[in-house]
Amino acid sequence: MIRKYVYGTPFPTDAVMGSVEEAGEELPFFERDESGMFSYRLDENDIVYGLGEQVRGINKRGWQYISWNFDNPNHQEDTRSLYGAHNFIIISGEQTFGAFFDYAGKIEFDIGYTNRSVMRIKPAQNDLAVYIITGENEKDIAGQFRRLIGRSYIPPFWAFGYGQSRWGYRNEQDIRTVAAQYQAADIPLDSIYLDIDYMERYKDFTVDPNRFPDLKQLTSELKAQGIRLVPIIDAGVKIEEGYDVYEEGVQHNYFCKDAGGNDFVGAVWPGRVHFPDFLQPEARKWFGRKYAALTGLGIEGFWNDMNEPAIFYTEDRLADTCAEIQKLAAGNMGINEYFAFTGMVAGLNGNPGDYDKFYHNVNGKPVRHSEVHNLYGMNMTRAAAEALREICPDKRILFFSRSSYIGAHRYGGIWQGDNKSWWSHILQSMQQLPGLNMAGFLFTGADTGGFGSDTTEDQMLRWLQYSLFTPLFRNHSAEGTRMQELYCFDNVNAAAEMIRIRYCLIPYLYSEFLKAALLDNMMFRPLAFDFPKDPMARQTEDQLLLGNELMIAPVYRQNALGRSVYLPEEMMLVTMRSWDQYTTEILPRGHHYVDVALEELVFFIRRNKAIPFGKPASHTSALDREDLHLLGYPGSAYELYADDGCSLDPESSLTVSTLC
């Protein structure tokens, strides 16, 4: 059952589909005080699930999280905000229920931080809708919520292939080298990503004519090899006379305005930019149609970046800061002045005050950006998705965004942002998956190998052994970091085998993805969602159930040659060295230590279940989706979902068959 409670005058977020009647009776479970703060007393054994893209555990207890979409490359234990606002939680314990705080601005979730046994939720302003969901159990509650927010985005089939990315591929030759090296090493590959360097001076929808003289030719040449190019699009539009996107945006008032009614100016990669006002339907249509410039060159996928939106600085704050620094430098800079100086400089990027200084035009009325901040990235993605349906009505386009709000899951996926080549970030990515799935984000994954800092060969192998299960499977890294294309390492074949195994698993992963999307299920679940009474399952933070058949338990510690695993039921351990060389062993319910050599992948098949397992191919279009065998308990069957992988309406080509 879903009940809705409205406070003040909420800004419509479009997270929820259709309309839900307001409940007559009082808000259950929570106390609400006169300041507008919601509080809930946590029982010792209560678990709080959710919040999607956030730091810390699957159980969010014991920290304060702030939904304020933020370009934050530091994903640490003490981080409070990342790129998304996924304000849905499920409290599991004494009382089990879900709560969605549908609010476009900043909102704090103090989950046993100030006081260990109290959860406090406080929106910046008291204009919001709260949805309370009760049901049979956690899975049922999550399913009801997913039906409320609408069907998750389904990418094209080829998006399940492996992708190579790096910020720093400078020209066509760099891209050709990546493709050639993958082929030479016999590693499957479906996509190569174009980061900001393909653009002409970071101008959206342009291609640098010197470094990428013929993108159309490059796109078709690579597509003939089964590889798609996936360019990035940033939110800010460069201010430059004669640049059509800039000129048109100014002319039609499609950009956000400052308090004086002028187009607001911020600085990001292109230098001074205006920010499209994605809250205006007309601006969305206009910006969305611009993607046709690239689809016209044969492009079939995009990633949207910097759409929190990220602002490196605004000119007035920069001027004020420089003036202050001059004053400081004129005196004898003592320690206090020195720290004031470094703080001011660091505080330019993403300064909260800057988000108070611009406005959206909502049906003719100015709305201060900070009040609707968390909707910006979602509406950028929506702009593209809605337009692309018209530009390319006959096929799905791969689409994922950095910033998001619940509702964006209908338009595209998200990647988990600028992580680092840290072992802890393998686990962090995994711990976000259940919360993301609860919020509808199924097509997701981390920058494999880590974005910032330098990876090592062993870390890359372990990372692959986790990421090969995530729908979005992309190796990406930052400019200036160590090269981490798989052919750069000594034991290329060990990595290649992991990618081959991924391709053998694609029929299963795609089938479970379709089920999750079409039936509003979570593809990745905490153990306790299926074993709610098992106290050990309720504590397990480093294993997940995948679909209905698998449990994953990756190794995420350096130099570990195995790990402890908890089995909530009897399961079959599968240890794979290569796609055609593996062992299986039935293990009873309980605690086990499992050996996992560096070149080995392990996963578990649940009791009396089996998964379809195919053969590798150099890319998804060469996969034989019929040539499957069942891997798992003898005598068990599997229900396979498949489709043509490209129709906009997935039901139009859906087939459901039983493999046994």
CA distance 416 to 401: 9
> What pairing do the DSSP bridges indicate for beta strands 228-234 and 301-305?
parallel
Min separation Cβ 412 and ligand MIG, Å: 15
> By three-state DSSP, how is residue 511 classified?
helix
DSSP string, 162-187: -EE--TT--SHHHHHHHHHHHHHTT-
Length of the chain: 660
At position 371, the amino acid (one-letter code) is: E
Residue 196 in the binding site for ligand MIG (CB under 6 A): yes
Min separation Cβ 225 and ligand MIG, Å: 24
C-beta of residue 194 within 8 angstroms of C-beta of residue 205: no
Min separation Cβ 449 and ligand MIG, Å: 13
Q: Which is nearer to ligand MIG, 196 or 406 (CB)?
A: 196
Residue from 60, 402, 515, 538 in contact with ligand MIG (CB under 6 A): 402
Please identify which of the residues 53, 138, 197, 418 carries the catalytic annotation.
418
Residue 653 DSSP class: G
Q: Which is nearer to ligand MIG, 196 or 496 (CB)?
A: 196
Q: Which of residues 287-306 bind ligand MIG (CB under 6 A)?
A: 305
Min separation Cβ 479 and ligand MIG, Å: 7
Handedness of CA 198, 202, 203, 209 (dihedral sign): negative
Residue 195 in the binding site for ligand MIG (CB under 6 A): yes
Q: Which of residues 433-462 bind ligand MIG (CB under 6 A)?
A: 451
CA distance 263 to 257: 4
Q: CB count, 10 Å around CB of 367?
A: 16
Q: Which is nearer to ligand MIG, 271 or 334 (CB)?
A: 271
Q: Which is nearer to ligand MIG, 274 or 402 (CB)?
A: 402
Q: Which is nearer to ligand MIG, 5 or 269 (CB)?
A: 269
Residue 308: active-site member: yes
Q: Which of residues 541-560 bind ligand MIG (CB under 6 A)?
A: none
The radius of gyration of the chain from alpha carbons, rounded to an integer in Å, stands at: 24
Min separation Cβ 251 and ligand MIG, Å: 28
C-beta of residue 178 within 8 angstroms of C-beta of residue 169: yes
Q: Which residues does 623 contact at the CB level (< 8 Å), separation at least 6?
A: 503, 506, 507, 614, 615, 617
Q: Which is nearer to ligand MIG, 419 or 511 (CB)?
A: 419
Residues that bind ligand MIG (rule: CB under 6 A) add up to a total of 10
Q: CB count, 10 Å around CB of 163?
A: 24
Residue 595: active-site member: no
b/e burial code for range 186-221 (CB count within 10 A of at least 16 → b): ebbbbbbbbbbbbbbebbbbbbbeebbeebeebbeb
Closest chain position to ligand MIG (CB): 167
Min separation Cβ 394 and ligand MIG, Å: 30
Q: Which is nearer to ligand MIG, 66 or 268 (CB)?
A: 268
For the window 464-503, what string marks contact with ligand MIG as x by the rule CB under 6 A?
------------x---------------------------
CA distance 512 to 510: 5
Cis, peptide link before residue 73, omega less than 30° from 0: no
Residue in 507, 506, 526 with CA at minimum distance from that of residue 639: 507
CA distance 5 to 543: 36
DSSP string, 430-495: HHHHHHHHHTT--SEE-EET-SBS---HHHHHHHHHHHTTSSS-EE---TTSPP--GGGSS-HHHH
CA distance 586 to 589: 10
Task: Compute CA 194 distance to the chain's CA centroid, rounded to the nearest angstrom.
Answer: 18
Residue 418 in the binding site for ligand MIG (CB under 6 A): yes
Q: Which is nearer to ligand MIG, 477 or 521 (CB)?
A: 477
**CA 16-18-20 angle, 5° bins:** 80
Quote the strand ranges of 377-427, DSSP E: 398-401, 404-405, 413-415
Residue 190 in the binding site for ligand MIG (CB under 6 A): no
Please identify which of the residues 53, 197, 204, 305 carries the catalytic annotation.
305
Burial class (CB in 10 A: 0-12, 13-18, 19+), 235: buried
Q: Which of residues 221-240 bind ligand MIG (CB under 6 A)?
A: 232
Min separation Cβ 63 and ligand MIG, Å: 23
Residue 167 in the binding site for ligand MIG (CB under 6 A): yes
At position 141, the amino acid (one-letter code) is: I
Q: CB count, 10 Å around CB of 519?
A: 12
Q: Which is nearer to ligand MIG, 178 or 516 (CB)?
A: 178
Residues forming a β-bridge with 552: 544
> By three-state DSSP, how is residue 209 classified?
coil
Q: Which is nearer to ligand MIG, 425 or 609 (CB)?
A: 425
Residue 305: active-site member: yes
Min separation Cβ 229 and ligand MIG, Å: 15
Residue 53 in the binding site for ligand MIG (CB under 6 A): no
Q: Which is nearer to ligand MIG, 288 or 377 (CB)?
A: 377
Please identify which of the residues 138, 195, 263, 308 carries the catalytic annotation.
308
- Tokens representing 545 are 């159930």
> By three-state DSSP, how is residue 620 classified?
helix
Min separation Cβ 71 and ligand MIG, Å: 7
Min separation Cβ 141 and ligand MIG, Å: 32
Residue 174 in the binding site for ligand MIG (CB under 6 A): no
Q: Which is nearer to ligand MIG, 113 or 167 (CB)?
A: 167
Residues forming a β-bridge with 492: none
Residue 422 in the binding site for ligand MIG (CB under 6 A): no
Min separation Cβ 311 and ligand MIG, Å: 11
Min separation Cβ 215 and ligand MIG, Å: 18
What residues line the site for ligand MIG (CB under 6 A)?
Answer: 167, 195-196, 232, 305, 402, 417-418, 451, 476
Which residues does the annotation mark as catalytic? 305, 308, 418
